[in-house]
């Protein structure tokens, strides 16, 4: 990338008077030496796969290969149709979509790793649900995805998006930060407001450990995906109300990376701590792998 930080990203966007999505499109054209149309077409393919994976689990019950999780996106979808949700259809649809992607992933279906397979539900849920609520077409959602990638590239360059390296805060945290920044742009916010949203999301997910039961991308991953989607959407509203992050984005990325390195190995995808080693977590592990 031509830039190394959120600060440089904001400078370039303001100098050239461009959005985060436009920045990402230009970057990719230069990097891959392909036309604008080709770059956008590639993202259209990404969006199409995301749409499928957000729908599949809501329409029918999908279970993971291990049998540990499944059927929850379907349940939530049914619950929405009863019309008595507390937090409204937008929030509940986002949660159902995130769960659907996680269930599709765990059942060996097709997903987009964004940034990882473990966190693959957050960005599709956030972009598609916000796009729908804001009345945007595919192109609007594709721009949202490009905006999210600008934030994701900076996080990956300066910190990590791997659970084994930085815990769940690095995977689901990055995904939610990317999603929130994108929604702010989709709502007409400035690049600066987008980075405020990303910073606030990281702040709120900071320290989240990666502790998968039986080492599988199922428990607690699927539920952390819906929680990440909620965090991304609610934070977009907070920022659109004019609230900013007192600690800037670059500082929060640095803090996230530092906290990740401080986490013991047992809480970085090794299944040797946290949820994985609860009494029930260990019992489930035995059910999957035998004694």
Which CB, 58 or 91, lies closer to other proteins? 58
Q: Is residue 173 within 8 Å of residue 263, measured between CB atoms?
A: no
Site string for other proteins, 208-247 (x = CB under 8 A): ------xxxxx-----------------------------
CA distance readout (Å), 190 to 27, 101, 129, 161, 265: 19, 29, 20, 25, 38
As a whole number of angstroms, the distance between CA 203 and CA 206 comes to: 5
Candidates 182, 180, 174, 233; CA nearest to 205 is 174
Complex with other proteins: residue 13 or 104, whichever CB lies closer = 104
Please list every residue from 254 through 273 that binds other proteins, using CB under 8 A.
none
Select from 19, 54, 55, 64 the one that contacts other proteins (CB under 8 A).
64
> Residues near 67 by Cβ (< 8 Å), separated by ≥ 6?
none
Q: Does 35 bind other proteins (CB under 8 A)?
A: no
65, 75, 87, 88: which one binds other proteins (CB under 8 A): 65
Measured in degrees and rounded to the nearest 5, phi and psi for residue 35 equal -75, 165
Compute the least distance from the CB of residue 92 to other proteins, in Å: 24
Write down the least CB distance from residue 85 to other proteins, Å: 28
Please give, one letter per residue, the 3-state secondary structure of 202-250.
HHHHCCCCECCHHHCCCCCHHHHHHHHHHHHHHHHHHHHCCCCCCCCHH
Beta carbon nearer to other proteins, 42 or 75 = 42
3-state secondary structure of 188: coil
Residue numbers at the binding site for other proteins (CB under 8 A):
1, 24, 27-28, 31-32, 39, 42-43, 45-46, 49, 64-66, 104-118, 120, 123, 145-146, 148-149, 152-153, 156-157, 161-162, 164, 178, 214-218, 288-289
């Amino acid at each position: 990338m031509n830039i190394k930080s959120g600060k440089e990203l904001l400078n370039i966007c303001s100098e050239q008077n461009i959005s985060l999505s436009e920045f990402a499109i230009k970057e990719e054209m230069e990097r891959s030496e392909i036309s604008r149309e080709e770059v956008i077409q590639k993202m259209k393919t990404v969006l199409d796969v995301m749409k499928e994976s957000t729908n599949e689990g809501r329409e029918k019950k999908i279970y993971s290969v291990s049998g540990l999780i499944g059927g929850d996106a379907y349940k939530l979808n049914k619950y929405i149709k009863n019309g008595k949700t507390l937090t409204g259809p937008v929030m509940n649809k986002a949660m159902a979509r995130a769960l659907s992607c996680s269930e599709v992933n765990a059942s060996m279906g097709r997903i987009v790793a964004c940034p990882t397979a473990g966190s693959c539900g957050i960005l599709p849920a956030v972009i598609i649900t916000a796009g729908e609520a804001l009345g945007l077409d595919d192109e609007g959602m594709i721009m949202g995805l490009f905006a999210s990638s600008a934030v994701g590239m900076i996080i990956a360059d300066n910190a990590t998006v791997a659970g084994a390296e930085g815990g769940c805060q690095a995977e689901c945290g990055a995904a939610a930060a990317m999603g929130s920044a994108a929604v702010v742009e989709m709502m007409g916010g400035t690049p600066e407001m987008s980075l405020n949203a990303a910073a606030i999301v990281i702040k709120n997910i900071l320290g989240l450990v990666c502790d998968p039961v039986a080492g599988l991308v199922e428990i607690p991953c699927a539920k952390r995906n819906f929680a990440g989607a909620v965090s991304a959407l609610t934070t977009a509203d907070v920022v659109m109300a004019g609230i900013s992050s007192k600690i800037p984005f670059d500082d929060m990325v640095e803090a996230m990376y530092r906290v990740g390195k401080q986490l013991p190995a047992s809480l970085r995808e090794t299944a040797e701590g946290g949820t994985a080693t609860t009494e029930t977590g260990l019992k489930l592990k035995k059910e999957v792998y035998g004694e």
